[in-house]
Structure 1
């Protein structure tokens, strides 16, 4: 994969993460009449963010093990 492809992937995933956090925050703070996502869609966002969290923790753990 070229450097441009990697950079594009990082940018896309970063934007998806930021938009996901903003959407969850919006739905947590405003009254339900303003909600634009359904419960299933919010759950998919939670799963996406959870996967990011777990993968980050696992990669940090692996990096620490390799640096010993």
Structure 2
């Protein structure tokens, strides 16, 4: 399968508060996914990173040009 989104070792901090730690996942073409977590777990932060609205501290985020979010 073709991965349209690949995230490896993603980390995001706000000051001393660690929001995302070592996040890794792939989303394949035609795959249906869900993002589930408690309030404050970093769901919106992750989406904002994927949409390139905010930066992250370390790791890699790769999105194919034709893999629109």
Q: What is the TM-score when the length of structure 2 is the normalising length?
A: 0.26
Q: What is the TM-score when the length of structure 1 is the normalising length?
A: 0.26
The structure with the largest strand share of the pair is: 2
Greater relative contact order (Cα < 8 A, sep 6+): 2
Higher alpha-carbon Rg: 1
